A and B are shown apart, each in its own frame.
Chain A
Amino acid sequence: MSLLTLKVNGRSHTVDVDPATPLLYVLSDDLELRGPKFGCGLGQCGACTVILNGAAVRSCITPVKTAVGAQITTLEGLGTPEKPHPIQLAFIDEQAAQCGFCLNGVILTAKAFLDKNPKATEEEIQQALSGVMCRCFTHVRMYRAIQKYAKEMAP
C-alpha cells in the first residue's frame, strides 16, 4: 500500500492503495464516484473511460500509480443535473439513453475526441467510438446527441 495523490475533477485526493490497483477501482470504490464503471476489466467496452490530461483512457487497465499528477476528469466533473455540460445536455435533449450504463464511455470518448478534432466528420466520430459499446443499442440517438454537440462546438 502507498499513499498516492490524485487530481480528480479539479480536487486533490490522497488515497492509501496498492499502486498496481487499476485507477477504476480507486475512483469508484475509494472515491465513490459513480461515473466510471466496470464493464469488462479488459479495456474492450469503454464503460470505465475517464479523461486523463485531455485523452480518453480506459481506467480499468490503467494502474493508479501512472495517473498520479495527471488531471483526471469523470462525468461528475463535466456538469450537474442542474447545470449539465453541453454534451450532457445534448444527451438529455435527444433522450439518448436506455439503461444508461454505457453513457460514461460514450460521452467522455466523444468529448475528448471532439475537443481535439472539432471539425471531425461523421465517419471520423464513428471511428473514434469504434471501441465503445452500448448493448441496448441506443446508437441512433447517441449519434444524434454527439452530432448536436459537435455542431454547437464547431469553430
Chain B
Amino acid sequence: MTSMTPAALAALSRRGFLKTSGALIVGFSMAGSGDAQIGGPSPGSPPINQVDSWIAIAADGSVTAYSGKEELGQGISTAQTQLVAEELSVPFDRVKLIYCDTALTPDQAYTSGSQSHPANFNHGNLAQAGATAREALIKMASQQLGVPVDELTAADGAVRAKSDASKKVSYGQLVGAKKFKLTLDPKARRKPPGEWTVLGTAAQRPDIPEIVTGQFEFVHNVRVPGMLHGRVVRPPRAGATVMNVEESSVAGMPGLVKVVVKKNFVGVVAEKPWQALQAAEKLKVTWTPGSGLKNPADFYEQLRNQKLTRDILLVDSKDVEQKLGQAATVVKATYMHPYQAHGSMGSSCAVADVQGDKATIWSPTQGVWYQRSTAAMVLGLKAENVRVIFRRGSGCYGLNAADTVTYDAALLSQAAGKPVRVQLTRKDELTSENYGNPFLMDERAGLDAQGNIIAWDHEAWSPTLGNRPGPGTPGNVITGSLVGFEAEAFTPRAPAPEPRGFNNNSNGIPSYAAALFDGVPKGAGKVGSARVLVHNIPSPFFTGPLRSPARFQNTFAHESFMDELAWHAKADPVEYRLRHLSNERVIDVLKAAAKAATWDARPSPRSGIPKSGVATGRGVACVAYEGDNGYTGIVTEVEVDQDTGKIAVKRVFVAIDAGPISNPDGLKNQAEGGALQGMSRALLEEVTWDEQRVTSIDWRTYRTLPLGFPVPKVECVLLNRPEEEATGAGETSITVIAAAIGNAVFDATGARLRQIPFTPERVKAALNARA
C-alpha cells in the first residue's frame, strides 16, 4: 500500500474491509437505510480474492473484466472500464466489462447505496485485481525477457524494457487465455491519480450510440425463442385476498395460454402482450374487501401517535435536555416528507425461462445473487439451478418493481412451462412498488446569547414494511408476499439500545453535530450536545430504498432547520453553517458552491419583500453524505409567484467532492440529474391514497416534472481529491436540493416550507402564515 496517505489509511480502517470485501455492509437496519445486509458472498460465486474472478486476458490481448456492480444509467460501467484499462495499461476500447451474471461475475451484493465507487475503486476488488494482474504480467515479462522488473514498464497491452523498446512482450503472449491463478495482492501498487491517462478523463459512454439508434438491449427487449407474455392481476384494494378466480370468464380468448393462481398471486399468460393485457383485464377475480387504509388526512399525526415503535438511537450525549434548559433561545420545528415512488419511466419488466428444476432469468434487479436465492425460494428450486442475468431496466433509483416483476415472470414461466416476459402496467408499477419511506421529523435546538448552537435534538417517525428481498426474504416485495412469504418481521423495541458506534448512513445525525463516541468526535460539526432518535413504525404500503433513502428526508429537515436557526441568530446562512462545521471537506464544498453562485452574504429573508407578485431569493444547503461517503454543497436561486404559490428554480450551483474523480463528465451527469430529480421530488411528488387503495396510479395523479418545464441552469464544481479514498457520488446533490429550495423560498418571501412536496397550495398557506 505504498501510495496510501494517512487519510486513506484511516478511511480504510474505518470501513475498508467490510465495504471492499463485497459482503455488505457496516451497521444496522434503520428506517430507510435499506441496504444493510449481513453475510458474505453467495455460495458458489467466484471468489472475491482471486484475480481470475475479475480479469481474463485472451490470446489476442483483449481484456475481459468481471464486476458485481452494474450499469443502471449512472455511468459506473464506463468508469469501471477506465479503471481496468488504467490499472492494466491497456487502451479503453480493449476492455470488455461484463457485470452481474450469476454464471460469470463475483457477488458484490447490491449495486446500491453509492457503494460502487468506494467498493471497486479503492484497495480491493476490481481495482486491486487490476493492479495485481499488472504486476504479475511484469514479473512474467521479466522472466521471459531477462530484464529486471524495475527496468520494465507496461503500456498499450505490452511490457517492454524502459531502455530498449525492442525488448517487448504482449499480454496475449504472456498469458494467452490462461488463468492467472493468483490471489489479490493488497501490496500491489495502484496507479496514483498523478499517473492516470484513462481514469480521470471524460471517457465517453460506449452504450450511448446504441441507445440513441435503438440498438441497445434493455431487459424490455430480451426475446427468447418460444417466449410468451404474461400479465399480473394485483389485489384491487389494500389487504384484499383472493376468494375466487373464474377461469371461464376468459375461456376462448385469442392467444390465451394459461390462467395462473398461486395463493393471492394471479396472472395470465398469452401468446402476445396485447392478448395477455386483455385477458388480465377481463379475468373475473373475486377479492375479499381487504383491510382498508387509515384516512390520509391526518397521516402525520397517526405516525406520531403510534404506540408500537422500533426505536433506534444514533447518538446521545445525555446532556441535551440540560443544555436546552440553559439556552437563551430554544427553537422547534416539525418537517414532513411523504411516501414517494421511484416511478421509473418504463414500467418494470423481466423475462424468465423455468424448465423443470432449472431457471434462467433476465432481470433488472440491483442484486443478481440475491435475486437468485430468493427466486429459487419463490419457485421451490435449488439456488444453484437458477441463473440470473442482469439486463438494464428503465432508470432505477432504488427498489422499484424490478425484483417483484422478476418473481412475476418466474412464477408465470414455471406455470406455463415456457419462457415468459412480463412488463407491468403503469398502474401496477405505481401502486405496488416499494415506496420511499415517509418521515415526520421534530427538530429542537438551543442557542446561546450569541446565537450559537449549544444542543440539537432530532426525533423522527418513519413507517416501514418489507425492504430489499435478499438474501432470503422474498416477502419483502409484493409478489413474494402474494405467494405466501412473510416480509421481514417488525419487532417493536423501546427504549432504544445505546448506539454501538458512529454510523451516519441515514444522515440522521446533522452535519453540525460533533457526535462524540468515547470522547472522540466522529461527526462533521462542532455541536457537542446532540441526540438523534428514530422510531420505525409499521407501514400499510411496502417501502424500500429510494435514491438517498432517509438521507434525503433527514437532510431536508436538518438543512431547513439550520436555516431557521441562522434566522434566529440573524446570521448569514453560509457563515452560520461554517461557524458550526469542523469537517474540511464539507466546509470546502459549501464554500465552493457559495463562490460559484457569487453568494450574497446577508441574513435571510432579504429586506423589502413585496407582499404580492414575484419574489426572488437564494438558498443554501450542504451535507457529508452518509457521514463520510461524498460531500456536497448547493446553492439555488428561485422565483416565487406569491399570487399563485408557484416556485420556479432559476439557477443551481452544485459543488461535489467524491474523492479522486474517476470520470468528470460522468460525475457531472450524476450531479445534474440528482439535483433536478430532487427538485421534482421537492416540488411535486407524493403518493396519495383513500380509505381503500392508492390513488396515484399514473402520471396525471403521481405528478413529476416532465421535460417541458423551464429547466434551471445547473453549474457543477467538481473538487478533485486525489489523496483521498473514492466515495459515493450519485446520491449527493439530490440529498441537499430540497432544503436549498425551501431556504431560497424563505429568503425570497419570509415564508418557511416544512412539508414536501412544496405544492402551490402549501406555498400559499405558508405565505398567508407570514407575520
B-contact bits for A93-132, CB 8 A (1 contact / 0 none): 0011111111110110000000000000000001111111
Q: Judge whether B672 and A140 touch: CB under 8 Å.
A: yes
> Contact check: which of A34, A46, A131 meets B218 at CB < 8 Å?
A34
Interface-central residue, B223, B675, B699, B706, by most chain A CB under 10 Å: B706
- Per the bound structure, the CA–CA distance linking A75 and B216 in Å amounts to 11
Q: Judge whether A101 and B669 touch: CB under 8 Å.
A: no
Q: Judge whether B205 and A95 touch: CB under 8 Å.
A: yes
Q: Judge whether B216 and A34 touch: CB under 8 Å.
A: yes
CB interface residues, B 690-730, toward A, < 8 Å = 698-700, 704-711, 714
Q: Judge whether B676 and A127 touch: CB under 8 Å.
A: no
A100 nearest CB across to chain B (Å): 4
Secondary structure dominating the interface of B: loop
CB-nearest residue of chain A relative to B220?
A37
- Per the bound structure, the CA–CA distance linking A137 and B211 in Å amounts to 16
- Per the bound structure, the CA–CA distance linking A119 and B217 in Å amounts to 35
Q: Judge whether B395 and A99 touch: CB under 8 Å.
A: yes
Q: Judge whether B218 and A37 touch: CB under 8 Å.
A: yes
A95 nearest CB across to chain B (Å): 6
- Per the bound structure, the CA–CA distance linking A136 and B674 in Å amounts to 8
> Contact check: which of B75, B212, B254 meets A88 at CB < 8 Å?
B212
B733 nearest CB across to chain A (Å): 10
A-contact bits for B209-230, CB 8 A (1 contact / 0 none): 1111111111011010000010
- B529 touches A (CB below 8 Å): no
Q: Judge whether B710 and A126 touch: CB under 8 Å.
A: yes
B699 nearest CB across to chain A (Å): 4
Interface range on chain A: under 10, 10 to 19, 20 to 34, or 35 or more? 35 or more
B355 nearest CB across to chain A (Å): 22
Q: Judge whether A139 and B707 touch: CB under 8 Å.
A: yes
B-contact bits for A129-149, CB 8 A (1 contact / 0 none): 111111111111111000000
- Per the bound structure, the CA–CA distance linking A126 and B2 in Å amounts to 53
- What number of B residues sit within 8 Å (CB to CB) of A? 63
- A40 touches B (CB below 8 Å): yes
CB-nearest residue of chain B relative to A30?
B272
Q: Judge whether B215 and A141 touch: CB under 8 Å.
A: no
Q: Judge whether A99 and B708 touch: CB under 8 Å.
A: no
- Per the bound structure, the CA–CA distance linking A69 and B425 in Å amounts to 30
- A78 touches B (CB below 8 Å): yes
Q: Judge whether A84 and B209 touch: CB under 8 Å.
A: yes
> Contact check: which of A39, A46, A79, A131 meets B394 at CB < 8 Å?
A39
- A81 touches B (CB below 8 Å): yes
- A153 touches B (CB below 8 Å): no
CB-nearest residue of chain A relative to B255?
A18
Q: Judge whether A134 and B254 touch: CB under 8 Å.
A: no
> A39 and B207 in contact (CB under 8 A), knowing A128-B708, A141-B669?
no
Q: Judge whether B274 and A100 touch: CB under 8 Å.
A: no
- A45 touches B (CB below 8 Å): yes
- A92 touches B (CB below 8 Å): yes
Q: Judge whether A76 and B707 touch: CB under 8 Å.
A: no
A-contact bits for B395-412, CB 8 A (1 contact / 0 none): 111000000000000000
CB-nearest residue of chain A relative to B429?
A40
Q: Judge whether A126 and B673 touch: CB under 8 Å.
A: no
Q: Judge whether B706 and A75 touch: CB under 8 Å.
A: no
B676: chain A residues within 8 A (beta carbon): 137, 139-140
Which listed segment binds A: B339-347, B456-464, B508-516? B339-347
B216: chain A residues within 8 A (beta carbon): 34, 100
- B37 touches A (CB below 8 Å): no
A105 nearest CB across to chain B (Å): 9
- Per the bound structure, the CA–CA distance linking A139 and B95 in Å amounts to 30
- B50 touches A (CB below 8 Å): no
Interface-central residue, B74, B275, B677, B714, by most chain A CB under 10 Å: B677
A32: chain B residues within 8 A (beta carbon): 221, 223
A141: chain B residues within 8 A (beta carbon): 669, 672
Q: Judge whether B213 and A81 touch: CB under 8 Å.
A: yes
Interface-central residue, B672, B673, B709, by most chain A CB under 10 Å: B673
A-contact bits for B431-466, CB 8 A (1 contact / 0 none): 000000000000000000000000000000000000
Q: Judge whether B212 and A130 touch: CB under 8 Å.
A: no
> A99 and B73 in contact (CB under 8 A), knowing A29-B273, A92-B204, A135-B344?
yes
- Per the bound structure, the CA–CA distance linking A141 and B698 in Å amounts to 26
Q: Judge whether B213 and A100 touch: CB under 8 Å.
A: no
CB interface residues, A 20-75, toward B, < 8 Å = 21-22, 25, 28-29, 32-35, 37-42, 44-47, 74-75
> Contact check: which of A25, A96, A101, A133 meets B274 at CB < 8 Å?
A25
Q: Judge whether B706 and A100 touch: CB under 8 Å.
A: no
Q: Judge whether B215 and A34 touch: CB under 8 Å.
A: yes
CB-nearest residue of chain B relative to A87?
B212
Interface-central residue, B346, B700, B710, by most chain A CB under 10 Å: B346
Q: Judge whether B698 and A139 touch: CB under 8 Å.
A: no
- B588 touches A (CB below 8 Å): no
A-contact bits for B654-670, CB 8 A (1 contact / 0 none): 00000000000100010
> Contact check: which of B212, B254, B425, B710 meets A103 at CB < 8 Å?
B212
- Per the bound structure, the CA–CA distance linking A98 and B346 in Å amounts to 14
CB-nearest residue of chain B relative to A132?
B707
Q: Judge whether A100 and B208 touch: CB under 8 Å.
A: yes
Q: Judge whether A99 and B394 touch: CB under 8 Å.
A: yes
- Per the bound structure, the CA–CA distance linking A25 and B220 in Å amounts to 12
A35: chain B residues within 8 A (beta carbon): 214
List 22 contacting pairs A-B, 8 Å CB cutoff, sorted by A: A17-B272, A21-B274, A34-B214, A37-B218, A39-B394, A81-B209, A81-B210, A88-B209, A92-B212, A97-B212, A98-B74, A98-B673, A99-B392, A103-B211, A106-B707, A132-B706, A132-B707, A135-B395, A136-B395, A137-B673, A138-B672, A140-B714
**Other CB < 8 Å A-B pairs besides A74-B214, A135-B395, A136-B673, 9 of them?**
A25-B274, A33-B214, A47-B394, A81-B209, A92-B208, A92-B209, A97-B208, A101-B346, A101-B394
- Residue numbers of B with Cβ under 8 A of A are 72-75, 204-205, 207-218, 220-221, 223, 229, 254, 272-275, 343-347, 392-397, 423, 425-426, 665, 669, 672-677, 679-680, 698-700, 704-711, 714
Q: Which 4 A-B pairs have the closest CB atoms?
A: A130-B708, A99-B73, A35-B214, A75-B214
